[in-house]
Structure 1
Amino acid sequence: MRRVVITGAGVISALGPDLPSFWASLAEGRSGIGPIKAVDCTPLRFSNGAEVQDFDPFLHFDPKAAMQLDRTVQLAGVAAAEALKMSGLILEPARTAVVTGCCVGGKTTEDETYRQLYEEKKTRFDPLTIPKVMANGAASYISMHHGITGPAYTVSTACASAAHAIGQAFWMVRAGMVDAALAGGHEAPFSLGMLRGWEAMRVVAPDTCRPFTVDRKGLILGEGAAILVLEPLESAVARGAHILAEICGFGMTSDASHITMPSAEGAAAAMRAALADGGLAPGQIGYINAHGTGTPANDATETKAIRAVFAEPPVVSSTKSMHGHTLGAAGALEAAAAMMAFERDLLPPTVNFTQPDPACDLDVIPNQARAARVEAVLSNSFAFGGLNAVLAFRRAG
């Protein structure tokens, strides 16, 4: 089987419009969480989110294309273009895959359509409504825009969607099914109906996201996209490409227990599977980008899972404290954050940290990034429905 590396990455999030701004914000511990502008949150119990700021689709797409794409697809298209430009890879269309993760699809379009139906009593709608709301819109757009004719599909496994997408793309490249892949996730959940649904769950914080702290009150929703370019190590070396990281392992499990309550056993099994798949010993992991949602149940359960796998747990942080919980895109943004630690020898912090919680007795890099040279990292994604996905990366070389 072939070794697989990352040669390009594109990110658009509340932390900025590209990968450099994303990483700069993480390194500085600068949060992108603030008042939600897309929706009037007056009737809601919360008003903060992590939105992409000042996004103008007409700067990235021609007017016709911009009008035909939901915001979630637009974000993915921007991230894919950045990733391909960085990689410098000349695609072989039939030997390239596109695998994207998305949790909820085109909610902006869907919400507006229902508003027109029930509030304005309209009976005629945009004929492209269905293509704009389908969860696979980004995979289809990326494949068509870049002329990719190999496998193209979308994984929808709630908050593990992007990690599942990257993991499956990794296995496809490693096994020789394809010679390259664009993989990641995207999400744009800021619509009134979606926010009402999250409000009903009582898991959204009224102020900000404080993972692993004793006074944490819940998650903060975010939007964005991240796409990675995967290719075999041999081809990357042959063309002199800059290698960001090697993706070496992927593990996935199902809790088969509760629809929303996480399981330490299932999460631990996924981490062990990723280590085994990557041929890594627990002691080789120097950093974990945690799922770290900031909810009381998740953070304590994830801590228990990490301690079950590691006799001496590595340092851990949750970058959701800065870019929010981007649902189907989370695993991709966090994979990008984890592997950039190799580029800068710097581990991103958990910001908004106040006081430690005895149930979360880990070194969570509170508030300030930490200089450290690590050889391998994990990126954890644990989703509603009990679906767990863990990615393992190691330093290129």
Structure 2
Amino acid sequence: MNRRVVITGCAAITPIGHGKADIVRAMQNGVSGVKPLRSDGLLTDYIHSGVYGTVDYPIEYEFKRSHRKTMGPVSYYACQVAKEALAESGLDTAFITSGRMGVAFGSIHGSPSVQRQIYQVFFDATGARLTSVGAVDYLKSMVHTTAVNITRMFGITGRVISSSTACTTSSQSIGFGYEAVKFGLQDAMLCGGADEYDTTTVAVFDNLLACSTDYNDRPHLTPRPFDQHRDGLVVGEGAGAVILEEYESAKRRGAPILGEVIGFSCNNNGGDLILPNKDGIMQTIRLGLDNAQVPPEAIDFISAHATATKMGDVIEAMAMAEIYGKGPRVTGLKSYMGHTMAACGVIETIQTLYMMQEGFIAPTLNLETVDERCNGVRHVQQLLEAPIRLAAVQNFAFGGVNTCLILKRAGE
């Protein structure tokens, strides 16, 4: 069985907006979602980086109390985008709860804010009692909290996949969902990822000297993917969800078809757990193209992983140059909102879908002078009115995990 897989719903909460109108407006007008890092009264005194991709607007959550009690902040994000994506898809409750639909959704490490509260109880010198740890705190903080809270809220009884591979979490989720539908294991999958605001993630990358520090007083000027003056990544928060569905089923019920997933690949570098690897990235790209059965010259646009680290951008640019040359246009979408961690793959997929639908290509924000080592690809530095028929979304993670998704515009 080898079925077509289309996207019939999507939703995102990002530092540049909640919903298509806000996100498209930000991309077309060069609006950054990077803000000053909020003090937490603990870690921020020791962190050099002072910037964060922040969701700083109110969100109306209309969840039942029975559902809220097992949800930390990361699950609030996840369930909200799941709710919106399901609503757009038009799938009815009978289908959603039939077992024919599954969930592939993840985060980096559950809810760190809840985890921190638990640790404080155990290490509190004042002798706080163990009973101050809530009965459901584990359910809020466990790694698969986003996936299972989604299944509980919407009554989804199909398979559950909860990837937790750092920066490739949600791109893997989409890929695994695509394979489940393509090969008839499920008729639909709700896929995505989420991460919440927390300074522990910043501290980790800060200790690795990977965070941006030169623009603390000018947050909107960082990150700067591929730019000569980039100085590291910016941690961000957010969530995204897409509904993947078998094409014939979606067509029969008159569902909105937003785009199509036609290829997916995932591999590992088999070596260093931190530095990206050119050969590993190139293999992933080639495997993705092979899976989609399209040649490199057919790709119109690439959403690059492009975290704005000093070596990561160079290695990715060299890998793309060797396979694509200066064919497809390339944008680093993290320039608008920082690195949203587990959510980055799905958010960048949704941004790419929006550009496909609206006929434009957003530039890489803050890319003023291209690093000569990154100059082998066709960077987008100004807003373009241009069609995207086929696009690649690339993401790479700690541990040497690489992914590539190939998307096709609806109606092609």
TM-score when normalising by structure 2: 0.92
Task: State yes or no: 1:288 paired with 2:288.
Answer: no
Name the CA distance, whole Å, in 2 between partners of 1:349 and 1:372.
12
Alignment equivalent of 2:404, drawn from 385, 390, 394: 390
**Equivalent in the alignment of 1:247:** 261
2:106 and 2:146 in contact (8 A); partners too: no
TM-score when normalising by structure 1: 0.95
**Equivalent in the alignment of 2:17:** 16
Q: Deviations over 1:339-377 (max 9, x none)?
A: 2221001112210122111011133212x3211112100
Gap change, CA 1:108 and 1:216, over 3 Å in 2: same
Alignment equivalent of 1:163, drawn from 168, 171, 175: 171
- Tell me the amino acid that sits aligned with residue 216 of structure 1: R
Residue 176 of structure 2 aligns to a residue in which SS? helix
1:101 and 1:164 in contact (8 A); partners too: no
Q: Aligned residues: percent identity?
A: 29
**Equivalent in the alignment of 1:272:** 286
Name the CA distance, whole Å, in 2 between partners of 1:286 and 1:332.
19
Task: State yes or no: 1:47 paired with 2:50.
Answer: yes
**Equivalent in the alignment of 1:152:** 160
Name the CA distance, whole Å, in 2 between partners of 1:251 and 1:296.
25
Gap change, CA 1:11 and 1:38, over 3 Å in 2: farther
Gap change, CA 1:242 and 1:314, over 3 Å in 2: same
Aligned length, in residue pairs: 394
Aligned pairs for 1:111-126 (under 5 A) are: 111-119=116-124, 120-124=126-130, 125-126=133-134
Residue 68 of structure 1 aligns to a residue in which SS? coil
Alignment equivalent of 2:223, drawn from 185, 209, 220: 209
Name the CA distance, whole Å, in 2 between partners of 1:313 and 1:298.
21
**Equivalent in the alignment of 1:100:** 105
1:337 and 1:348 in contact (8 A); partners too: no
Q: Deviations over 1:191-235 (max 9, x none)?
A: 3x3332222111010122000001100000001110000101112
Residue 144 of structure 1 aligns to a residue in which SS? helix
Name the CA distance, whole Å, in 2 between partners of 1:38 and 1:53.
14
Calculate the aligned-residue CA RMSD, in Å.
Answer: 1.6
Task: State yes or no: 1:332 paired with 2:335.
Answer: no
- Tell me the amino acid that sits aligned with residue 57 of structure 2: D
Residue 21 of structure 2 aligns to a residue in which SS? helix
Aligned pairs for 1:188-199 (under 5 A) are: 188-191=196-199, 193-199=200-206
- Tell me the amino acid that sits aligned with residue 277 of structure 1: N
- How far residue 63 of structure 1 moved from its aligned partner, in angstroms, is 4.5
Residue 156 of structure 2 aligns to a residue in which SS? coil
- Tell me the amino acid that sits aligned with residue 295 of structure 1: T
Name the CA distance, whole Å, in 2 between partners of 1:268 and 1:106.
34
Name the CA distance, whole Å, in 2 between partners of 1:20 and 1:74.
21
- How far residue 109 of structure 1 moved from its aligned partner, in angstroms, is 0.5
**Equivalent in the alignment of 2:182:** 174
Name the CA distance, whole Å, in 2 between partners of 1:214 and 1:16.
28
Q: Deviations over 1:107-154 (max 9, x none)?
A: 111112223432454232112121111111111011111111000120
Deviates more, 1:286-295 or 1:353-362: 353-362
Alignment equivalent of 2:75, drawn from 70, 73, 86: 73
2:69 and 2:136 in contact (8 A); partners too: no
Name the CA distance, whole Å, in 1 between partners of 2:162 and 2:58.
24
Residue 163 of structure 1 aligns to a residue in which SS? helix
**Equivalent in the alignment of 1:61:** 63
- How far residue 241 of structure 1 moved from its aligned partner, in angstroms, is 1.8
1:139 and 1:152 in contact (8 A); partners too: yes
- How far residue 56 of structure 1 moved from its aligned partner, in angstroms, is 4.8
Aligned pairs for 1:244-393 (under 5 A) are: 244-361=258-375, 362-366=377-381, 368-393=382-407
Residue 252 of structure 1 aligns to a residue in which SS? strand
Alignment equivalent of 2:142, drawn from 134, 138, 141: 134
Name the CA distance, whole Å, in 1 between partners of 2:325 and 2:206.
38
Gap change, CA 1:54 and 1:250, over 3 Å in 2: same
2:202 and 2:211 in contact (8 A); partners too: no
**Equivalent in the alignment of 1:229:** 243
**Equivalent in the alignment of 1:186:** 194
